[in-house]
Structure formats: C-alpha cells, structure tokens
A and B are shown apart, each in its own frame.
Chain A
Amino acid sequence: DAKTTQPPSMDCAEGRAANLPCNHSTISGNEYVYWYRQIHSQGPQYIIHGLKNNETNEMASLIITEDRKSSTLILPHATLRDTAVYYCIVETNFGNEKLTFGTGTRLTIIP
C-alpha cells in the first residue's frame, strides 16, 4: 500500500506560489516527510524534508499539519524551471532506509 497520496497533476501560473498537497494519513511517529522533484529526463532532486515542524530552505517551504496526516510543499514564486514531477515520500531516518517513489504530482508552470 502506498504511504502517500498526491494529485496526479496541477497547473500554476508563473510567479505565483505553487502549493502541492500530500496525504499521509498512516504516517507513524518516527517517519519523516521528504519531497523530491524530477525534471524531465533528469535524476530526481532533493527539495526538503521535515518531521513535524514547518521547514523552509532556499528552494521551498514544507508545512506539516499538526496531526501530521498531510503536508504541503510550497514553491513561493514558481518559474518555468519548476515544471517537474514532485514526489512526496514518507520514511524513517534510522540510517538503513530506502526511498519508495510513488507516482507524484506533475506540476506545470504556465507562462
């Protein structure tokens, strides 16, 4: 069973904030939320991860709900180069984990 559920596709206007949702209702207390993206014909790129607090870095912000059953990745000012498939992954952080990629959300930035 998939640990996460994401919409298959989304559009966002260039310059606007892109908000990508992810449901992970069965997440356990020691599991983190990771976000990666894959631009066409390239390897995936790590974006951000978090446990329960909201996180921000130079690429994006991650908002995790208080019950941790869902999260939102926010790209504050989307550009055309942000067009990609975005993957939300839930995994522990003990050191031996593997990343399991679901189908992700195909985000298209519209000029």
Chain B
Amino acid sequence: GAVVSQHPSRVICKSGTSVKIECRSLDFQATTMFWYRQFPKQSLMLMATSNEGSKATYEQGVEKDKFLINHASLTLSTLTVTSAHPEDSSFYICSARVGRVAGEQFFGPGTRLTVL
C-alpha cells in the first residue's frame, strides 16, 4: 500500500514552454501532498504544500505564478512549470502524507525535467 506515482518520469522541453507533472496516490486518499525540487548533488528542497480543495502554500522564494499547483482531488495533485527556462531543469518529486503521522510521507519516483 501507500504507492505514489508521477507522470511523466522524464520530460525534455524547449525554453518558454509549460510542463505539467502529475502526482497520484494510487491506493489511498491524500489530503496533503508536497512538491520538492532537487538539483544535482543537492538535497530535496520543499517547494509547496498542496491541500485538496484549497490553494497551495508556497515556501519562501518559490514563485507561485511560475509553479502552479492544483490539488483537485484526494488522489491527484499537479505541478505546472510555466514558461520553463534551463535553470528550471531539476528533479521534481511529490509526496503524500498518510493518515495522521505527520512525518510519514510516501514519495513518488520523481520527474526529471530538462529545459533546452
């Protein structure tokens, strides 16, 4: 149980285009999902917290108009990188919290975005 999927696993796009990444909880309902970004040889950095049916909460320094998050259902959250640029190339990872154990999160496999 507690499986989280992401789609696509890898995407290459041209500078200026927008890319949507989906995060799904496959066998449970997740009221809270998180989006992280990880640059090569660095740790995960939390970008935003996504709550079903409400606006996402963004971490300081993360542009909400550039990284659009939608959590329309209890099993799906999407991250759209708008007008992507090469510096947005990164490994994007989502996670979902199960139950009431706040620190027990289940992570997706990640999406590697390359912007040319």
Contact = CB atoms under 8 A, between A and B. Distances in A.
A111 interface: no
Interface residues of A, number: 26
A54 interface: no
A23 B68 CA distance: 37
Interface in B76-116: 91, 93, 95, 100-110, 112
Contact of A93 (B43, B103, B112): B103
Interface majority SS on A: helix, strand, loop or mixed?
loop
B25 to A, nearest CB: 13
A99 B105 contact: yes
B102 A92 contact: yes
B100 to A, nearest CB: 6
5 closest pairs, A vs B, by CB? Answer: A43-B107, A97-B102, A101-B44, A34-B103, A101-B43
24 contacts: A34-B103, A41-B112, A42-B110, A43-B109, A43-B110, A44-B44, A44-B95, A44-B107, A46-B106, A49-B103, A87-B43, A89-B103, A91-B102, A92-B102, A93-B101, A93-B103, A94-B102, A95-B100, A95-B102, A97-B102, A97-B103, A98-B49, A99-B95, A103-B43
Given A43-B108, A87-B43, A91-B103, 12 more contacts: A34-B104, A38-B44, A43-B109, A43-B110, A44-B44, A44-B95, A49-B103, A91-B102, A98-B34, A99-B95, A99-B103, A102-B43
Interface of A: 32, 34, 38, 41-46, 49, 87, 89, 91-104
